């Protein structure tokens, strides 16, 4: 390992500014071997990892990706001030930003994904409500059928109850006849209240013939 300065290039480091825009940065790190820490000190991989972490932290703290594009030296100064060479076999002399590019609009992508997820959730809830409405409708129909069955059952028990009442003397023959008359009168009123079939067509035919 030479004590002369040498340059370490980082791979492209991607980070997202606060405005949601991704910024891709590649840096050149000028280092010199630290003789006092040659034994037991961390190597190039640690330097690259720490610088990459510093780049991500600096870009992530920027309010806008434009700040990073307009002031790339801000990354250099911020990262260099963190003392990233501590515990390594190198002394960092300088960090130069070799390349800065705008990447994807991560913020917009995440918003789109969130909107799509919200849409799927809303559709699922709507389908759940529709299924519940159908189930309630079927339940109500079943209840109507059940109630009709109970009415029919109750009506079928009326003649038996009347016969039992007559047999035991709880009602007299005249009372029974009055009940039958009331029932017949009710049926007649219901029949008279219903319009006769074809009455409308007959009335229209008569009016046409009278013209």
pLDDT of 101 strictly over 60: yes
Surface-to-core class of residue 93, CB atoms within 10 Å of its CB (0-12 exposed, 13-18 middle, 19+ buried): middle
- Mean pLDDT of the region 139-160: 86
- Mean pLDDT of the region 204-208: 51
Hey, where are the domains in the chain? Answer: 6-105
Q: Which residue has the tokens 């017949």?
A: 184
What is the percentage of the chain residues whose pLDDT exceeds 70?
Answer: 83
Question: In which band, very low, low, confident or very high, does the pLDDT at 182 lie, cut at 50, 70 and 90?
Answer: confident
Q: Which residue has the tokens 């260099």?
A: 80
Name beta bridge partners: 21: 105
* Alpha carbon distance 79, 97 (integer Å): 11
Each residue's pLDDT tens digit, 122-144: 999 999 999 999 999 999 999 99
Query: Could you tell me if residue 169 is left (phi over 0), alpha (psi between -120 and 50 degrees) or otherwise beta?
Result: left
Residue 142 token pair: 């079943």
Cα–Cα distances in angstroms (integers) from residue 159 to residues 82, 145, 154, 178, in the given order: 100, 23, 10, 15
Q: Which residue has the tokens 């000190």?
A: 41
What is the percentage of the chain residues whose pLDDT exceeds 90?
Answer: 10
Residue 162 token pair: 């009347």
Residue 84 has, within 13 A of its CA and on its CB side, a CA count of: 26
Residue 124 token pair: 């699922």
Q: Which CATH superfamily is domain 6-105 in?
A: Band 7 domain (3.30.479.30)
pLDDT at 42: 67
* Alpha carbon distance 63, 187 (integer Å): 85
């Amino acid at each position: 390992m030479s004590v002369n300065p040498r340059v370490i290039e980082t791979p492209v480091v991607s980070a997202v500014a606060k405005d949601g825009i991704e910024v891709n940065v590649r840096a050149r790190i000028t280092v010199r071997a630290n003789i006092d820490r040659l034994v037991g000190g961390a190597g190039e991989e640690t330097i690259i990892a720490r610088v990459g972490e510093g780049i991500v932290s600096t870009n992530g703290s920027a309010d806008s990706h434009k700040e990073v594009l307009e002031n790339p030296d801000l990354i250099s100064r911020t990262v260099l001030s963190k003392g990233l060479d501590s515990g390594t076999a190198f002394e960092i002399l300088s960090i130069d930003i070799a390349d800065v590019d705008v990447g994807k609009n991560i913020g917009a992508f995440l918003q789109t994904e969130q909107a799509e997820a919200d849409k799927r959730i809303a559709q699922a809830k709507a389908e759940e409500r529709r299924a519940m409405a159908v189930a309630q409708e079927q339940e109500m129909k079943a209840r109507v059928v059940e109630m009709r069955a109970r009415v029919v059952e109750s009506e079928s028990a009326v003649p038996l109850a009347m016969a039992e009442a007559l047999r035991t003397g709880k009602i007299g023959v005249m009372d029974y006849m009055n009940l039958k008359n009331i029932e017949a009168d009710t049926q007649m009123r219901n029949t008279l209240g219903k319009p006769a079939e074809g009455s409308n067509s007959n009335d229209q035919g008569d009016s046409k013939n009278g013209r």
